[in-house]
Structure 1
Amino acid sequence: MYDAIVIGARCAGSPVGMLLARRGHRVLVVDRATFPSDTVSTHYIQQRGLARLAAWGLLDELVATGVPAIKHMTVSYRDIVIAGFADAINGIDVTYAPRRTVLDQILVNGARAAGAEVREGFAVRELIFEDGKVVGIRGAAADGEVREEHARIVIGADGRNSFVADAVGAQRYHEVPAECFVYYSYFSGLRTDFHSRIGVGEQIGIWPTHDDRTLVAVMRKAEAMPEFRADVEGNFHAIARAIVPEFAEELATHGKREDRFHPMRYPDNYYRQSYGPGWALVGDAGYHKDPLTGLGISDAFEYAQLLADRVHDGLSGDVPMADALAEYQRERDAKSHSSFEFTCSISTLELTPQLHAVFRALGGDARYAKDFFAMIGGGMTGEEFFAPERMAKLLGASA
């Protein structure tokens, strides 16, 4: 009998398992994948996410893998360019965009080192219910042997197509339709910092990752996907030429594509009911938004910590588990609200008149641009950055 079973061992699942095990709980973490293995990802970890890794004692291990530090960011909307970087946040003055083959292995190792049992290559086939409460799982390893395990709580950290969410009938709320699709690949021969550049109905993202590779991603509106797929490479380079012609020239003359193009056709933005009798959801299983702002990994870390804290409260008997899990969902929704709304707004690739005015002002004021990057990095909330008095000063200074 385990205290907790976690289904999914990537950016949300392994941290939850690790944190609960560190508090003395008996934890099983399972994943159908084996590690190291890749997964579709934005790669990017903001300063707040890196601060979590530092607090968990895992950041130095990531840095030691040779992932390049990012110390300058350029964000643009058509002719408006905002460049700079945030001051240190919780002592972190850089950001990173690691390959998931590297990051996820570090997280899995962290869970094992904490004392959690981790079973790779284990596919969960069903949840076990007793009197309407989830009490365990039934699944099989690669050899086909069916095993049944029981726990006081089962946590779904199994992504946006969550098996756990489907099995318990977790309902979505606050849904916002997805706007775009993404294609990305890895190139050698390039030298660049972080770029997120929006043109007319399209976007390009550029940032360095492991092995002297640069991740280059392009985005267009969902209805353009059939046309794009007819000539992926040609359209990929066309977006680069339209938005950042100087980079497009470097990409064409010095860049060598080292991998296939990876498509991402994301589902709608949503929150899911993330707890019930004997179960909880974390990561994209419980809350998902468009990849444009690259917040997924940092959010997975932050809300993994929050869920682990609340589950510990329930397991220890300090708070009834149902109350502890309700508080987890309430806190998660409150803390993520502003970034969710900002992401849904900007991922249309069309700024509202209000946001357009803000971006225009930020492009001409380095002081407020630093605050903008602090909001992106997690050193300032959206409510703080967009506070009426701050916006009045910013827009007044640009008038």
Structure 2
Amino acid sequence: MYDAIVVGARCAGSPVAMLLARQGHRVLVVDRATFPSDTISTHYIQQRGLARLAQWGLLDKLIATGVPAIKRMTVSYLDIVIAGFADPIQGIDATYAPRRTELDAILVEGARDAGAEVRTGYTVSELIIEDGVVVGIRGSVAGGEIAEERARIVIGADGTNSFVANAVGAETYTKVAAECFIYYSYFSGLSVSEFHSRIGDKQQIGIWPTHNDQTLVAVMRKIDTYADFRADVEANFVKVAREILPEFAEELVTKGKREERFTPMRYPDNYRRQSHGEGWALVGDAGYHKDPFTGLGISDAFDYAALLAERVHEGLSDQRPMAEALADYQRERDEKSQSSFEFTCTISTLELTPQLLAVFRALEKNEEYATDFYAMVGGGMTGEEFFAPERIAKLLGANA
């Protein structure tokens, strides 16, 4: 009998398992993947996410893999260019965009080192539900016999197509339609050391360094162009680069070597799901997902895994009823993520509102506020703080 079973061992699952195990709970974490292995991702980790890794004793391990530090960012919209970087946030003065083959393996080992039992190559075939309460799972390692494991709580950390969420019938209570799709790949031979998110006319290109002296290059377009784009991915990929950043496109074509296939991301709508019930909870994309445009997924997974671990510990240690603790988890997650959820849904349309356009134009000319903008992106300032009416009035007034 386990205290907790966690289904899914990547950016949300392994941390929640690790943190519960460090509290002395008996934890089983399972995943159908084996590690190291890749998965679709933006790769990017803001300072607040890196601060979590530092708190957990895992940041040095990530840096030791050779992932390059990013210390300058450029965001642009048409002719508006906002360059800069946040001041250190919780002592973190850089960001990183690691390959998931490296990051996820570190997280899984972190859970194992904390005392959690980790089973990879394991498929969950059924939740065990008795009198309306989830009490365990049935599943097996590939080729093995199906067996059952029981726990006081089962946590689904198994992504947007969560088996756990589907099995308990978790309802979606917030939904904003996805606007775009992404294609990305990895290129060697490029001289990129910064983070770039450059928006053109209803299209975007993202560029940042990752492992193995490679650069991740991603392009985003509106969903209604998907069929045409995929008819000739490579030509259309370069076309987007030429239209937004001609000089970079020239380097991409003449010096860049694509090292892997193009990976499509045709992601689901932005949503929040009911994320707790009798004997179960959801974390990461299983319970809450937003457009990858802002690259907040990994950092969010870390933050809300930590929050869920705190609340589950309160329930397991009888500090308060589990149902009450889990309800607080969902409420706190929604409150803390509200401003970034709204900002992401707005900017990922690739068409700025008049108000946001005015802010971007002012930020281009104001280094102090640009630093604050990147602090908001990095997690050192909330959206409510950055977009406070008095602050925005001061920004716009200073650049009138």
Q: Give the TM-score taking structure 1 as reference length.
A: 1.00
- What is the rounded CA distance, in whole Å, between the counterparts of 2:238 and 2:19 in structure 1? 43
CA deviation after TM superposition for structure 1 residue 146, in Å: 0.7
CA deviation after TM superposition for structure 1 residue 144, in Å: 2.9
CA deviation after TM superposition for structure 1 residue 173, in Å: 1.3
- Aligned match of 2:101: 101
- Aligned match of 2:340: 339
- What is the rounded CA distance, in whole Å, between the counterparts of 1:85 and 1:250 in structure 2? 25
The amino acid of 1:363's aligned partner reads E
- Aligned match of 2:279: 278
- What is the rounded CA distance, in whole Å, between the counterparts of 2:265 and 2:126 in structure 1? 28
| Alignment pair present for 1:264 and 2:265 | yes
- Aligned match of 2:75: 75
- What is the rounded CA distance, in whole Å, between the counterparts of 1:329 and 1:397 in structure 2? 39
- Aligned match of 2:9: 9
- What is the rounded CA distance, in whole Å, between the counterparts of 1:173 and 1:354 in structure 2? 28
- What is the rounded CA distance, in whole Å, between the counterparts of 1:140 and 1:245 in structure 2? 52
The amino acid of 2:305's aligned partner reads A
- What is the rounded CA distance, in whole Å, between the counterparts of 1:110 and 1:145 in structure 2? 28
The amino acid of 1:20's aligned partner reads L
The amino acid of 1:16's aligned partner reads V
The equivalences for 1:153-302 within 5 A come to: 153-192=153-192, 193-302=194-303
CA deviation after TM superposition for structure 1 residue 155, in Å: 0.0
- Aligned match of 1:42: 42
The amino acid of 2:353's aligned partner reads T
Cα shift readout 1:64-112 (whole Å, capped 9, x = no counterpart) = 0000000000000000000000000000000000000000000000000
- What is the rounded CA distance, in whole Å, between the counterparts of 1:288 and 1:319 in structure 2? 28
CA deviation after TM superposition for structure 1 residue 178, in Å: 0.2
The equivalences for 1:131-146 within 5 A come to: 131-146=131-146
The equivalences for 1:371-382 within 5 A come to: 371-382=372-383
Cα shift readout 1:356-384 (whole Å, capped 9, x = no counterpart) = 00001001111100000000000000000
- What is the rounded CA distance, in whole Å, between the counterparts of 2:191 and 2:333 in structure 1? 37
Structure 1: any 5+ residue segments left out of the alignment?
none
- What is the rounded CA distance, in whole Å, between the counterparts of 1:24 and 1:174 in structure 2? 35
> Percent of counterpart pairs with the same letter?
78
SS at match of 1:391: helix
- What is the rounded CA distance, in whole Å, between the counterparts of 1:217 and 1:276 in structure 2? 38
- Aligned match of 1:29: 29
SS at match of 1:350: coil
- What is the rounded CA distance, in whole Å, between the counterparts of 1:139 and 1:382 in structure 2? 42
- What is the rounded CA distance, in whole Å, between the counterparts of 2:228 and 2:341 in structure 1? 29
SS at match of 2:191: coil
SS at match of 2:205: strand
- What is the rounded CA distance, in whole Å, between the counterparts of 1:115 and 1:396 in structure 2? 56
Cα shift readout 1:118-163 (whole Å, capped 9, x = no counterpart) = 0000000110011100000001111231110000000000000000
Cα shift readout 1:22-60 (whole Å, capped 9, x = no counterpart) = 000000000000000000000000000000000000000
Cα shift readout 1:155-190 (whole Å, capped 9, x = no counterpart) = 000000000000000000110000000000000001
- What is the rounded CA distance, in whole Å, between the counterparts of 2:317 and 2:144 in structure 1? 35
The amino acid of 2:198's aligned partner reads R
- What is the rounded CA distance, in whole Å, between the counterparts of 2:242 and 2:397 in structure 1? 35
Structure 2: any 5+ residue segments left out of the alignment?
none
- What is the rounded CA distance, in whole Å, between the counterparts of 2:269 and 2:334 in structure 1? 17
- Aligned match of 2:395: 394
- Aligned match of 1:329: 330
The range that moved more, 268-277 or 135-144, is 135-144
- What is the rounded CA distance, in whole Å, between the counterparts of 1:244 and 1:263 in structure 2? 21
| Alignment pair present for 1:352 and 2:353 | yes
The amino acid of 1:310's aligned partner reads R
- What is the rounded CA distance, in whole Å, between the counterparts of 1:110 and 1:5 in structure 2? 16
SS at match of 1:183: strand
- What is the rounded CA distance, in whole Å, between the counterparts of 1:252 and 1:394 in structure 2? 40
- What is the rounded CA distance, in whole Å, between the counterparts of 1:381 and 1:111 in structure 2? 30
The amino acid of 1:148's aligned partner reads E
The amino acid of 1:319's aligned partner reads R
The amino acid of 1:279's aligned partner reads W
CA deviation after TM superposition for structure 1 residue 258, in Å: 0.2
